[in-house]
Structure 1
Amino acid sequence: MGKEIERKFLVNGTEYRTNSNKIYYKQGYLSVDKERTVRVRIVGKQGFITIKGKNNGISRPEYEYEIPLTEAGEILDNLCLKPIIEKYRHIYRHSDNMVWEIDEFLGDNTGLIVAEIELPTETSLFTKPDWIGKEVTDDPRYYNSNLIRNPFCQWQDI
């Protein structure tokens, strides 16, 4: 079974930009049920479909498959819930050789910047770069699938 073990953090500053690669992401959701999400995504010139199960702590089942780019575009345009999530993802390799993915959201989520780290185990140790802020792993508002129902621009307490 595929498994994702991930922690999420807010970002303080822009230092990550100097040593990272940036790519445009466009993604939408076919299902945002609490038990499962089904996402279609375009990353550069590749299309993907991803099925994620319910979170159990920082882990959840995850299955991802490449699909034809044209079909990914058609699904995003015609079948996915709106709005579509658009963002730039920066890939940053930290000094401990762990990879951080920093998402700078666009559109209704402009201003939101979240860093994620995928871990090999739930107890894996890692060091945080200086620009990593508050952990938001347990806050469902920061799930991409929730940003379509409650975009960042509508948050009152931020």
Structure 2
Amino acid sequence: MAQEIERKFLIRDASWRDEPASTETFRQFYLARRDGFSVRIRIIDEARAFLTMKTGNGLQRGEYEYELPLADARELERAHIGTVIEKRRHCIAHGRHVIEVDVFAGALAPLVVAEIELESAEDVVELPRWFGREITDDPAFSNVGLATNGLPEEFRT
């Protein structure tokens, strides 16, 4: 089984922008969701598309991902549930890890979240000073939660 092991954090301040980063633009939407299972399509830079199924919740989850023809992804968007997520991902090297900072746009702005993928659940990482509160186990901040429920209350104006 394919595994994704990652921790997620809110961002404390904008000092992460001082770090060198590569960027990608994502448009993603969900086709199905139930407790502990989701199916999404992600379009990257309007050039490539992936179908992803995730199982479980929290730190360690099953993840199955397959490249999809871009035209199929665009056609399937009509069947999405919830909000289509638009975000810009900034990938920042951090020791032997990569931190992915997602800056959300549209209905999910001004949310900014950092993710760091781990090799194991016991992997120890020195966190940058700009990391804020950990939200790994908060379903309100999962992408599927954001797509189906919108911004968590603390970000609503």
User: TM-score of the superposition, structure 1-length normalised?
Assistant: 0.91
Task: Report the alpha carbon displacement of residue 24 of structure 1 after superposing the two structures with TM.
Answer: 0.7
Pair 1:113-2:112 in alignment? yes
Match of 2:96 in 1: 97
Aligned position for 2:62: 61
- Which residue of structure 1 aligns with residue 40 of structure 2? 39
Secondary structure, in 3 states, of the residue corresponding to 1:130?
Answer: coil
Q: Which residue of 1 aligns with 2:31?
A: 30
1:114 and 1:66 mapped to 2: Cα distance?
Answer: 25
Superimposed CA distance per residue, residues 44-87 of structure 1 (whole angstroms, 9 cap, x where no aligned partner)? 111000000112x51111000111111111112x1111320110
Partner of 1:50: 52
Residue 2 of structure 1 aligns with which residue? 2
| Mapped partners of 1:15, 1:147: distance in 2 | 25
Using the size of structure 2 for normalisation, the TM-score is 0.92
Distance 1:6 1:16 in 2: 19
- Give, in angstroms, the shift of residue 97 of structure 1: 2.5
SS of residue in 2 equivalent to 1:100: strand
Spell out structure 1 runs of 4+ moving beyond 4 A: none
Deviation at 1:17, TM superposition (A): 2.5
Gaps of 5+ in 1: none
Q: How many residues were matched structurally?
A: 153
**Paired residue for 1:157?**
154
Question: What runs of 5+ residues in structure 2 fail to find an aligned partner?
Answer: none
Name the residue aligned to 2:130: 131
CA distance 1:156–1:52, shift in 2 (3 Å): closer
Identical pairs, percent? 39
The whole-number CA distance in structure 2 between the counterparts of 1:20 and 1:145 is 25
* Alpha-carbon distance in 2 for matches of 1:13, 1:97: 23
SS of the aligned residue for 1:157 comes to helix
The answer on whether the counterparts of 2:81 and 2:148 sit within 8 Å (CA) in structure 1 is no
Distance 1:14 1:88 in 2: 15
Q: Give the conservation status (yes or no) of the 8 Å contact 2:82–2:149.
A: no
RMSD: 1.2
